[in-house]
Amino acid sequence: MMLVGDVADARTPRPSHSLRVVSETWSFSFADPRGRFFCHGRDGRALLATDKAVLDAELAGEGPFRLRGPALGELELEPLGPPVSFEHGTRREWICRGSGRSAKGEKLDGYGAVAAGPGPLAGVALRRTLWLCIEGKLAISGLAERVASEDPHGAEWLEVHVARGTPIEPSRVADPRLSTTYDAEQRVLRAGLELWEDEIEGERERGGALRLAGETVAGGDLEGVAVTFMVWHRGEGQGVGCYTIERA
């Protein structure tokens, strides 16, 4: 994954958007449900959920982002607004509209996310990330971590942000709840999200999701990461998103 722009002559001014902090880990995901194209990646490796293949990939730019790979195709991921900045840590996440062509030449059109933050788990037993987007006007980003794997709920914190408008503007949810249902093979089957955006005056909003595609990655830096792409229903709206679970 490209983390910095091409090296230029020291006398040549370089645009600031081509520079990145190399200590961060960058990740991405994209979903085109109509085209049945789903990909998730980190540090130069990508999983095509429909093919169960781990491929080389390159991510460049600073919004719009460009994603490409010899077996992946080419995508442009245009942020719908400013990034979500999670207060519990250093993760930043851009929800994006994505378009391009697959390696087979098929047109791609959907939504995705690009994130920068801490790398593989260190001192954490489990990390969950979640994003979803409904018609480009409502986006939700979530991050949860658990210190002790034997404690399924008590030691886990959850932070969720909701973004609305054009461009979308994120705000932190006062009281979020995330539930997950697994099938017999321990794959994510369904998910539910309950949000109290204002813990004093707000009303509870519910949303639910069903699995579209997914896989637990074998090999490389993505080893053991369970990736699930889901179709989300929230009120009268329907969207798409990606839910990942990473265990130490």
Q: Which tens digits make up the pLDDT trace of 133-162?
A: 999 999 999 999 888 766 555 578 899 999
pLDDT band at 248, cuts 50/70/90?
Answer: confident
What is the chain's Cα-based Rg?
18
The residue extents of the domains of the chain are: 25-247
pTM over 0.75: yes
Average pLDDT over the chain, rounded to an integer: 84
Q: How far apart are CA 74 and CA 54, in angstroms?
A: 16
Stretch 190-194: mean pLDDT, rounded?
A: 94
Residues 38/51, Cβ–Cβ less than 8 Å: no
* Helix, strand and coil percent figures for the chain, each rounded to 5: 0, 55, 40
Neighbours of 24 (CB within 10 A): 16
Tokens for 181? 């249902």
Look at 177 and 13; give whichever has higher pLDDT.
Answer: 177
Residue 52 clears pLDDT 70, i.e. is over it: yes
